[in-house]
């Protein structure tokens, strides 16, 4: 069972994910296709469900919150966390390792034979990588710091949760990019 503080972190990340992608709540994002927005919400819910499983597995124990937090406070914390995640992501994407990862992904796509404008493809892959890193920073990096049993992620159950998280995160990033390109 999650503590009150862990539940607050889940709620903060619920809002924070939107701020990472859009800089504002999804409800304020204009999109011509409501089906894509619905898919985004569905995938985000699934991702947060997996995130809750991860918190339970690694015994997430953030510091106790003694003050009363309002919805406004949580949204402010979400914006702040998203800003930090985006800044960190930008720094990481420019590293040599990230460049090699992106080159490998591009090589794989090109070998599949999907003829696309190369500059658009490069831009798309960099954006996907940046968003993935930002979501990982927002949800995972800060979580691991205050968890008591991180080694559980090396178990069979931990690997399943991690794989599920990655699949859903990538799907969420792709859906967000569709909304942004609308």
Burial class (CB in 10 A: 0-12, 13-18, 19+), 50: buried
pLDDT of 114: 64
How far apart are the C-alpha atoms of 163 and 81, rounded to whole Å? 24
Q: What is the dihedral of CA 18, 24, 30, 33, to 10 degrees?
A: 0
What's the pTM? 0.89
pLDDT digits over 78-100, tens only?
Answer: 999 999 999 999 999 888 888 88
pLDDT, mean over the chain: 90
Is the pLDDT at 2 greater than 80? The verdict is yes
Banded pLDDT at 35 (limits 50, 70, 90) = very high
The rounded distance, in Å, linking the Cα atoms of 26 and 37 is: 8
Q: Residues 113-164: pLDDT tens digits?
A: 766 677 787 888 889 999 999 999 999 998 888 888 999 999 999 999 999 9
For residue 100, CA distances in Å to 20, 53, 96 come to 24, 32, 6
96 φ/ψ sector (left φ>0, alpha ψ -120 to 50, else beta): alpha
Distance CA(155)–CA(170), nearest Å, equals 22
SS3 at position 114: coil
3 phi-psi bin (left φ>0, alpha ψ -120 to 50, beta other): beta
For residues 131 and 86, give the distance between their C-alpha atoms in angstroms, rounded to a whole number. Answer: 8
CA distance 136 to 54: 13
Percentage above 70 pLDDT, the chain: 98
Length of the chain in terms of residues written: 182
Can you give the three-state secondary structure of 111-162, one letter per residue?
HCCCCCCHHHHHHHHHHHHHHHHHHHHHHHHHHHHCECCHHHHHCHHHHHHH
Measure the CA–CA gap between 43 and 123, rounded to whole angstroms. 23
Nearest to 27 by CA among 41, 13, 39, 9: 41
């Amino acid at each position: 069972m999650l503590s009150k503080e862990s539940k607050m972190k889940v709620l903060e990340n619920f809002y924070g994910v939107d701020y990472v992608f859009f800089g504002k709540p999804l409800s304020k994002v204009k999109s011509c296709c409501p089906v894509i927005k619905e898919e985004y919400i569905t995938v985000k819910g699934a991702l947060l469900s997996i995130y809750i499983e991860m918190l339970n597995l690694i015994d997430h124990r953030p510091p106790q919150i003694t003050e009363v937090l309002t919805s406004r406070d949580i949204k402010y914390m979400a914006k702040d966390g998203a800003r930090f995640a985006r800044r960190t992501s930008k720094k990481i994407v420019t590293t040599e390792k990230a460049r090699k990862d992106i080159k490998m992904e591009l090589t794989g796509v090109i070998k599949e034979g999907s003829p696309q404008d190369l500059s658009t493809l490069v831009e798309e892959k960099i954006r996907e990588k940046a968003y993935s890193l930002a979501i990982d920073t927002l949800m995972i990096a800060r979580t691991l710091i205050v968890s008591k049993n991180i080694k559980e992620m090396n178990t069979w159950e931990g690997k399943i949760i991690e794989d599920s998280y990655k699949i859903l995160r990538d799907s969420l990033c792709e859906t967000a990019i569709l909304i942004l390109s609308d």
